[in-house]
Structure 1
Amino acid sequence: MSVGAAVRRVRAYGGQFLLLAVLTLVVTLLISGVPRLVNRLAEQGLRAQLNSEPAARRDISYTTSVESATSRRTAMGDAAERFDALAAEMPPPVRSAVTERWYSVETAAARVVGPDLAARNLLVDMGLRAMPDIQGASTLVEGAWPSETYVPDRPIEVALDVDVAGKLNLRAGSQLRIGNTDDKGRLTDGAPLVVTGLFRPVDRANGIWDGLPQLLRIIEPQGDGQPFVIVGVVAQSPLNKRAAEGWPIQSNWRYRLGVDRIDARELDQLIDGLQVMQRNQPTGLTLTQGADVPLRAFAAQINAVRTLLAVIAAGVLATLAGLIVLAAGLAIRRRRSEFALLRARGGGATAGARRSLAESVLVVPVAAVLGWWLGTLVPGAPDPTTPYVIGVTVLVTLALPLATLAVPAGGAGRRDLIRVRPSARRLTVEVSLLLLAGLAAVLLRRRGLTLGEVDPLLVSVPVLLAIAAAVLALRAYPWPLLLVSRLAARTRGSVAFLGTARAGRAAVAAPLVVVVLAIGTAAFCAVVAAGVDASRERAAAQIVPADAVIRGERFAPDTVDELGRLPGVRAVTRVLYQDDERFASDEVGTDAFIEQTDVLLVDGSGLDTVARESEVDLPVPAALRTAAPGSGPLPAIVSPAVAADLTKAGLDDSAFISVQGQRYEFRVAGTQDRFPLLAANTSRFVILPWQALPTRTTIPVPTSLLIAGDSLDAEALRVAGDQGQERYQRDGTVTGRERMIGVTVDTRADVRRDLGEGGANGVLAFGFVAGAAGGTVLGLLAIAFTVLAGARARGQVLSRLRTLGLSRRQWRGLLLVELTPLVAVSVLTGALVGAVLPLLLNPVLGLSAFTSGVPVRVAFEPSLVAAVLALGAVALGFAVAVEALNNRRLRLGEVLRLGEES
């Protein structure tokens, strides 16, 4: 067989080979390009998440305790030696992610006194820190840097941040003394100290300044009579001498993980490396790191989204495979007479297949290489997809030869009839397919899966279920059409009768399966996306069951009234939260020997009012909402774990719990798995009704305040909350306490936005959009194939009917009646598959990583019905348009004259 002849045949059937080439290009483009795009989106999400955290959160810090130096080496020399040794001992994934590192040696903070401090009556403690490279990270503003030359009896030279010095009335040349104090606060062994210079950092965001305590900040007093704490910079040589004299020192080594050095594809190895370091801490050192927290959160999201993408990719690629099979079958069916003539002229059984293989080799590999090359242009880190591209190219190349072998050797008969009684072989295959799909679904639910891995069972279940649903639809839909056809036969006119009769006999097995796969994938994406969105709303309502919440330490009781006077505030209620409280079996406080629990006090009616005013669906248990003061135990809502422990101890009718120093008796009035304002992973809690508390000498004070209102000003709420804390500290039963931390204000809208942004949400959104759009487009393309598969037979019938006097309007009506059942069945079956798949797969997908731990619930969405109807209308219009274009191209008169096999 000559190459020239194969080229001429490819040119002669250019449209069919172009279609096959385009499908091949799309498949290899997706295999090559989508992983790159996913990796790029994952990297962007990881960088955004890490950048939203404080930079110091990525630090891995080793510290020694504050003690006298024991090494014979100098303090700084020993620190420098261990600096490199600690880095070398890190696991390779962690070591390769480190981009910046620093070390320092410092003394414990000691009292400093001097005229400049006394002028403002300031009480100050100062720590002395030596660290390399500090001069390169700062600019000297006044004076000079401490001298590296140690001179006995010379005062300790120190440099301070210019802002820190200014707030404490210090300047270059300030004379001070530093040392320990006695129990009356008097300096006992003071050494002279002089401020030689003032510096300003070149870049305050430089990690060199993040060591604790910080050089650029003053640690304010935590209570009355407490000192300010600052850190000054000293030279290395004087610090070595002080350490040799017995001054207690502390060494610190910090290694910062670079955002650009962390590969989203290797998060598990990095997290494992951090765990190994945590377990194998060097003797005498304390390891502190917080990088694993955001990394674990992102890893959970990316694993869940990769599992979801595997399901979506399985549906899309299975649809494309079906389209390729349909394209190959359509091409060979148009050339059936050619291959029959080839056999009649003495060709072997494989002669047609060899001819098709020669033609396919000229087209498919070129299209596959082009698609792979286009995929490499997509920005992002590549995945090892070349073997998959090669495998797909081989399979698509063999599609035409295999389709040729499947062509009957004899002439073509009528293929538009479905036998009412299928063969035993076909029934066996279909029943086996249904059983296999059901068994795979059961196994997947029982076995579960490992998130982030491509599980063969996971990717096969959606495809098997879609094929099984299509088989059932094929078996079921001709029967109602037969009944409708019989009813239409009794009416006037031939359009309805002929249309329903032909629709009931249409042979559309393979095309219908492909349509169901495509529409099912699109519907699956839409349903899961709606479920995740609704679950985020519930998660936001769990975190903030109001329009806003103010969290602090303790608020004065009148803070509720003060907040109620702010503009836009409609309702306010109080909440008290305490963690790790112990149970008692009596009022005296006898330990009940039950594991500790969290305690939440809520005003039941107030919480119900705030939730209703905030339009939050929060059913407050009646036991909390209707509780009133009275004798006997308080009705409490507890978690199932607490209820089980209390029942086992015989305390479910009467137990005691401490709240802000007061012990209250309660009984179990109900159980709930979760409750608003508590973390999603909280499994032990007791909820008490605030309004029913008995009168005691001291009353509980709230730790959080829930607000319902419109256009709330977060800054005004923050100011009111801080003032409420200050009033409690000033007017409460205990005064002179340490300064409280400022309040935090969270709005439900902000929480909801944070849940939908950052992290791997970009990858998740891409999966939903690509799956829904791709499934819809491929579904329409499959419908076009379905129409084209029966276009020749319909063209002949329409040609004869037009000859018998069928009008153009009746012709359009006949076409509409014939195609409507086919399109409706395929779209509805695909939508049904897409709605059922989330119910089956949702428990194993791990999508709660995107909803702050709140389980994702997939439920019926009324909008899905409207979307299916709209898609059905579009699909029907598209099918009619394809049929009309095809009939115009074939010219119905020529179809009738040339005969059935033209």
Structure 2
Amino acid sequence: MRVLRLARTHRGAVAVLALLVLSACVLVAGLPRTMQAAFDGALRQSLAAAPAYQRDVAVELRSSGPESDLREPAQFASYGEQYRDLVPEPLSDLLDGTGHASAKTYDTPVNGSGGRTYLNLGWLSDGERRVEWAEGRAPGSVGTTRWQGQTVPLYEVGVSAEARDMMGLKVGDLKILGESDFAAVKVVGVFRARDAGDDYWSHNGEILHVTRLQPPGSLDYEHYTTALIADAGLARLSGADRNLSYRWVLPVDAARTGARQVDELDAAVTEFERVLKVRPGLVSGTVVSTGLPGLLDGFRAALATAQTVMFLVLGGLLVVALGVILLAVRLLVDRMDRALSLTRARGGSLRQVAGTGAVLVAAVVGPAAAAGYALSYLFPGPVPPVVHAGPVAVAVAAVAFAAARIAVAHRAPLHERREDVVAARPSARRITLELLVVGLALAGAYLLRTRGTAAGGLDPFLLVVPLALTLAAALITMRCYPYPLRLLVRAAAGGRTAVAFLGLTRAARTGSSGVLPVLILLPALGVSVFASVISGSVASTQRLASWQAVGAPVKITSDRELTAGEVERVRQVPGVARVVPVQLADVQVGHTAERAEVIAVDLAGWRELVAGAPVSLPAPPAADSGIPALVSHELRGRGTFEIGWQSRLTITTRDVVTAVPGFFTEGKFIVLPFDVNPRPVVNALLVSGAADRAALARAVPDARVETQAATLAAIQADPMTGTVSATLLVVTVALAGYALVAVLITLVIGAADRARALSLLRTLGLSDRQARRLTVLEILPMVLVTALVGLGLGLGLPAALGPGIDLSAYAGGLAVGGYDLDLTTPAALAAGLAVVAVLGAYAHAAISRRRDVSAVLRVGDLS
């Protein structure tokens, strides 16, 4: 039998099969690449946004005396090279080749300050090219001076401009350090960073800035800073008389990272720590300091959720695509049935007949799958293993199904198949198996909600349960579908016309082989509805998160008091509709060292400003007597108490609030009326309207301007968030297309039997209009029933999966719950299917009308 002749004879079915395989392979091989590229981009963005001291790898050593002191820059360079050589792969591949070393003292008090001022000494391996001198000069040699009858070392140091302003350190000042082992420092210069935004200063912030701390139980603050010393000062530093630590920083290049390296990077950090402990020849006591594992853990949680959602929707897409492809294979095999039966009757072996069909299908799907695989390389991103496996699985499944179907159909020569048999009674074994599947699906959904998901990555259980639920819904639909139709048949039997009775009867008598192809619609509708529900819920939660982060359409905050003129300039900016002033402060609680954050605002005006927004604000407290206050949970139960602000105020607790949108989400805070102070000190503004952000920033140049729209855009701009949303949209559209194709192929598969029945009925007086109605009634019930079941499945999947899907990483940190019930997409899909079914039925009836009855009916059919 010639395969090419069969292909030419059935070129329509061959073309449909090739197009379906091509589209499926493009999607199953291309979308994972886009997903992986988004995962990599999200990891790089996450690491790049993290402070360098968390992202980079540092090796630390505390000096304990002369035997462990490092006094020469060359020693630091030598140890740095050794440490870099010991970093295992793939962590070593991420190091950018730069780095620096430092030596710093810590907890060094200024003599006579009462433990409230600390001036540490710091040496940087490349400090001379990182700073520029605003006053004085760079520090130089180390001398000596006398103090309390002792000769102590005298270091020349340089201090930052911030230390000069906040701690009063001026060029020429001489300070004595220590309470027992004394040293003197002389300020010879004031420096500023050449690039204060460089990641370098994330590791050396104590040199550039002043740290202000309030010890527990104290009302005073302690001030810490680190002064720069020269190489000569390094040669004099020793762990014998100072708290001294050495540090080597190995910067990590975030652009070189990939999501598939997450687990390997964790293992590499652990291995690096182990090697440093056992490596001979290095200074003992070295430890690895890095926040990289913590950053990777946070990303891993978001990645696991993204992978789960992606595997669910892409798995559903693959199942539906395979189902439609198998329908197309069935269409092609059924078209070849007469030729194959003739070959079998003439002595052809079962292997020859099945092999011929399999070769024809392979000749179609092989090149189509290869073309789809090649086209997938147009998608950006790396190549995960599923890119190679997906097209192969599609081609193998199509060929195997063709061979199996032909082998079963032609296992005996001239095997007559009774097409008029409605259905066989299912065996007890089959019923038991189907009940087992349904029971396991329900039990899996229950366990998933009760036990949660496995920690530490993708949970296979989370992937199996949706598949089991879909299969269970399909089995229930297939078994229960005929029964309500038979009730309708009984009702239609008493009607005046026979069309409704005949159409519903044919629909109710459809056997399992006829119902099964249409059930491809079930996972298509279920997954598409699930994707639309997830997408809509994430979008609404993103909007809520942006409002909770800002608290108003626009929020303007400043570290100083805003003048009346500045507030008026904001009011005059074009597009500003309303301005609510706010006072923010850090106050003393009672007469103790306890502190709390305070916001004084007109809550009624604020509520009017955000009317219609999804954010909820507390109601203004009743002012029966005294100053009413809303307090956080940490301050509840105190009744009436005092706070120290501009003056001593006595406030009365009226209610407890969990958060104040735009300002407080945790900790100790208090909400007070705006007029609580005799003279309000406004340092924040809440603005509504359509004003330009740049214009507002020009009105108050040194203030921070945040907008709800920009915050929402930042949440949506995350690479992983954007890819999840885009993939959900693409999958929804693709599933809708496959569902429509499944309806059309189902109509074509049953076309011959349907044409024969309509031709027979036309000999009995059936009109063309009645023939079209009959065809619609035959097809439409199954489509509508499957659409309703698929809709219910898609709406139920988010609730069934429950805690297994944590989408907070894509919604600004807020948990996505109470999934929105948006029926727009499902209703449009169901309507589209119904329209296609009606149009297909009408087209088929029109084609059947043009056929000659003698070309359809055989001799004896009318007897």
- TM bucket, shorter chain: 0.7 to 0.9
Q: Report the CA distance shift for 1:94/1:518 in structure 2 as closer, same or farther (over 3 A).
A: same
Q: Structure 1 56/431 Cα, relative in aligned 2: closer, same or farther at 3 Å?
A: closer
Query: For residues 488 and 34 of structure 1, do their structure 2 counterparts lie closer, same or farther at Cα, with a shift above 3 Å needed?
Result: same
TM-score, structure 2 normalization: 0.75
1:570 equivalent in structure 2: 578
Match of 1:212 among 204, 209, 213: 204
Provide the C-alpha distance between the structure 1 equivalents of 2:420 and 2:644, rounded to a whole number of angstroms: 81
1:549 aligned counterpart, secondary structure: strand
TM-aligned CA distance change 1:600 to 1:841, over 3 Å: farther
Q: Name which of 532, 537, 541 aligns with 1:535.
A: 541
2:518 to 512, 518, 531: 512
Q: Does residue 464 of the first structure (1) align with residue 468 of the second (2)?
A: yes
Residue 796 of structure 1 contacts residue 900 of structure 1 at CA under 8 Å; is this kept in 2? Answer: no
Secondary structure of the residue aligned to 1:857 is coil
**1:609-665 deviations in Å (ceiling 9; x for gaps):** 43653533444456x63354359x9775638xx98xxxxxxxx58697977697978
* Residues 710-749 of structure 1: CA deviation (Å, up to 9, x unaligned): 1345567668889xxxxxxxxxxxxxxxxxxx75432222
Alignment match, 2:259: 264
Q: Name the residue aligned to 1:413.
A: 418
Residues 625 and 689, structure 1, Cα contact 8 Å, conserved in 2 = no
Tell me how far apart the structure 1 counterparts of residues 571 and 271 of structure 2 sit (CA, whole Å).
Answer: 54
Which amino acid in the other structure matches residue 782 of structure 2? Answer: L
Which whole-Å deviations, capped at 9, do the CAs of 1:250-296 have from their partners, x for residues lacking one? 85533221132211221244356557879989977797656566655
Distance 1:289 1:239, change over 3 A: same
**What is the correspondence of 1:66-105 to structure 2 with a 5 Å cutoff?**
74-104=71-101
Question: 1:180 is matched by which residue type in structure 2?
Answer: L
Residues 664 and 15 of structure 1: CA distance in aligned 2, closer, same or farther (over 3 Å): farther
Q: How does 1:67-466 map to 2 (within 5 A)?
A: 74-104=71-101, 131=125, 180-181=174-175, 212=204, 252-271=247-266, 289=290, 295-341=296-342, 344-345=345-346, 352-376=353-377, 378-385=379-386, 386=388, 390=392, 392-407=394-409, 410-414=415-419, 417=422, 424=428, 427-450=431-454, 453-466=457-470
Amino acid across the alignment from 2:398: V
Deviation larger for 770-779 or 64-73: 64-73
- Residue number in structure 1 paired with 2:217: none
Q: Which among 792, 811, 821 is matched to residue 781 of structure 2?
A: 821
8 Å CA contact 2:552–2:662 kept in 1: the answer is no
* Deviating more after overlay: 22-31 vs 75-84: 22-31
Q: 1:497 to 1:891 in 2, by over 3 A?
A: closer
SS at match of 2:248: strand
Task: Report the alpha carbon displacement of residue 816 of structure 1 after superposing the two structures with TM.
Answer: 3.5
Q: What's 1:729 paired with? A: none
- Counterpart mapping for 1:383-782 below 5 A: 383-385=384-386, 386=388, 390=392, 392-407=394-409, 410-414=415-419, 417=422, 424=428, 427-450=431-454, 453-488=457-492, 493-507=497-511, 508-551=514-557, 565=571, 567=573, 568=576, 570-572=578-580, 574=582, 601=598, 606=603, 609-610=606-607, 613-620=610-617, 625-626=621-622, 628-630=624-626, 636=631, 638=633, 676-677=661-662, 682=666, 685=667, 688-691=670-673, 705=684, 707-712=686-691, 714=693, 744-782=704-742
The corresponding residue for 2:147 is none
What is the SS of the residue equivalent to 1:709?
strand
- Structure 1 residues 456 and 388, CA, compared in 2 at 3 Å: closer, same or farther? farther
Match of 2:114 in 1: none
| Post-superposition CA distance 1:95-116 (Å, at most 9, x none) | 321114232557999xxxxxxx
CA distance in 2 between partners of 1:481 and 1:67 (Å): 88
Answer yes or no: is 1:855 the counterpart of 2:815.
Answer: yes
Q: TM-score, normalised by structure 1?
A: 0.72
In 1, the alpha carbon distance for the partners of 2:744 and 2:300 equals 41
Deviation at residue 845 of structure 1 after TM alignment: 1.4
Alpha-carbon displacement from aligned partner over 1:756-798 (angstroms, at most 9, x marks no partner): 1124113212321222112111111211222223222222233
Q: What is the identity percentage for the equivalent residue pairs of Structure 1 and Structure 2?
A: 23
The CA deviation at 1:490 is 5.1
The superposition leaves residues 794-830 of structure 1 with CA deviations (integer Å, 9 ceiling, x where unpaired) of 2223334455555544444444444333332222322
The worse-fitting range, judged by mean Cα deviation, of 527-536 and 46-55 is 46-55
Q: For the residues of structure 2 that align with 1:458 and 1:194, how far apart are their CA atoms? A: 63
Post-superposition offset of 1:552 = 5.4
8 Å Cα contact 1:326/1:510 also seen in 2 = no
Q: Distance in 2 between matches of 1:817 and 1:68?
A: 93
How far the C-alpha of 1:562 sits from its partner, in A, is 6.4
- The match for 1:34 is 31
Residue matched to 1:728: none
- Judge conservation of contact 1:466–1:513 (CA < 8 Å) in 2: no
Report if the CA contact (8 A) 2:173-2:187 is conserved. Answer: no
Q: CA-atom RMSD, angstroms? A: 5.6
Counterpart residue identity of residue 756, structure 1: Q
Query: Contact 1:354–1:401 (CA<8 Å) still a contact in 2?
Result: yes
Following the alignment from structure 1 to structure 2, what is the Cα–Cα distance between the partners of residues 230 and 424?
Answer: 82
Unaligned 5+ segments in structure 1 are: 110-124, 151-155, 169-175, 644-651, 723-741
- Conserved 8 A contact 1:315-1:462: no
Judged with a 3 Å threshold, the aligned counterparts in structure 2 of structure 1 residues 9 and 190 are, in CA distance, closer, same or farther, namely: closer
Alpha-carbon deviations, 1:658-685, whole Å to 9, x = none? 776979787795685x6634777x5xx5
2: CA distance, partners of 1:473 / 1:867: 22
SS of the aligned residue for 1:412 comes to coil
| 1:869 correspondence with 2:830 | no
Distance apart, 1:852 and its partner CA = 2.7
Amino acid at match of 1:616: A
1:74–1:7 CA distance, 2 compared to 1 (3 A)? same
1:83, distance to aligned residue in structure 2 (A): 1.4
Alpha carbons 2:775, 2:845 under 8 Å: kept: no
Post-superposition offset of 1:542: 2.3
Q: Which residue of 2 aligns with 1:117?
A: none
**Aligned mates of 1:190, 1:871 — CA distance in 2:** 78
Counterpart amino acid of 1:397? V
CA distance in structure 2 between the partners assigned to 1:716 and 1:669 by the alignment: 38
Offset, 1:452: 7.9
Look up the SS of the partner of 1:254 in the other structure: strand
User: 2:625 is aligned with what amino acid?
Assistant: P
Note if contact 1:62-1:288 (Cα within 8 Å) is conserved in structure 2.
yes
**Code of the aligned partner of 2:835:** G
CA distance in 2, matches of 1:59, 1:721: 37
Change (3 A) 1:325 1:78: same
Residue 786 of structure 1: aligned partner: 746
CA shift for structure 1 position 482:
4.2
Matched AA of 2:317: V
Matches of 1:467 and 1:424 in 2, distance apart?
19
Moved more, 277-286 or 521-530: 277-286
Q: CA 1:621–1:228 in 2, change beyond 3 Å: closer, same or farther?
A: closer
Cα distance in 2, alignment partners of residues 265 and 346 from structure 1: 56
